[in-house]
Structure 1
């Protein structure tokens, strides 16, 4: 398995290769894709070390993410950037790639707090201002080929759905969703994004602090905004208006991108299911997602995808008509 080598002794030796030594035990932090641990070092204080999942990103792709984080931090954007030691942010020990961060704390971001939403909007505007001038050469774009078609193939190969009516209904709805969503996703402009901007990746420390850029890709600006919207259409319009009030103090937002929200939601749904299926042999996944791969789960997903088909037919959010 990907992480059987990652024993406490191995981690201590990897850190020791950088002349960083454990002065406390290792505390495992929530992370499914990578393995992340908090520890204390007498000289540097509380640190976090992340060991990257093998073969997910190549070295150049991780370094590109780190370069983007460094550029954001230097521009004053509130992000958790990796530590630089002797001019490097990515390290390797016996074939395992890892990086270090200063440990940061904070309160959970409150997505229903309009003051916090507006402050987040400003930071996203600053992030996208940097992202527009930071093209990615190694990381992939946010595309339907990846999020829909490759995810479909992964589900066909890996999803444990019993043959019969459940499988037929699920894949039938999924195929219709892909057919409908794909032509609706036509971004006119792309820039470098966080790409996984949800409440779990935001801390509040006298302002929003964005963490975990592991999924960083290029795509439309609205990708970093739509996951903050929830509730009724009216509630989403209030949230969107609040976010953009902060965002547009920094840069303009194209209202045309609001038409991409429901296709992006569909893409995330399909991609998330495929991600779980692809990682199911990792013991961390059955332990943390015990409801996945059950008959009830696939029946529920069939209903959710059917609802999303309806959402794709609805008029997109529009602040112009609301105001």
Structure 2
């Protein structure tokens, strides 16, 4: 008999109210020759998942009745006839973009065709994914921790390690912004690589936790509107930062360009600004730096990140509140209200 399992589906974009939870039937038809059935144990939410549910722009519209979720971790339940890279019992993570080469760097069109938007994602008890889109889960992490790596973790890794010849190394100074998933992952990766990290936050309550994770200095950007210049003074001889992970675009880029060193790298990874400030792109010229757009990362980068996390025993920070699969809407609400620290996790099993 076909097996029953619980899953979320996004009936259509427009509002989180369109998320529906219910029972589904696992097809009794055999897996495709290159497919893997994964019993999901945990998922984490990203800002991407929220904007897909809302669907306010054409690029954020979801295919009707798609399983949402960009990130997840689980165990191989069964494999198709031609799958040799994984076996039953292996712990795996899905890459968001399917059907691409290992070194392919996704652009927005590819990401829009990815998990949780155009194809079924991770907010389900059972999922089927192409074997070539899966990577091995780190052996040093729980399912909840590993479920944070596929989207925000990989984006942070690409920002810090993805530019050839410019990977963060011991002795570098790195600036991260806020306490969202990408920023906290970048803090942890940079610290593990031996860099000195300066972090910003708008809430004093987060200062101690950022310091516990390895931030050498924390600046409140709300009480210090010229935080970029303040941060720069914390680097040797006021030279500026080797790497800056910018999550706010129009809200943060001008200060990032004041903080970066000559020939430093500013990785633009987010668009969390309010759209009220204009960015003077010529500031990059006057700063003599590299401004680099970063969207996700390749499968090769994913595997490199997994190996690094094992070698350095990176333990991803999680939000203090976790949710069951049935209460996934509560996770969306916590993310939307920005009540979280780092990653909002949904425990599936």
Tell me the TM-score normalized by structure 1: 0.27
Q: When you count helix as a share of all residues, which structure comes out higher?
A: 1
Q: When you count strand as a share of all residues, which structure comes out higher?
A: 2
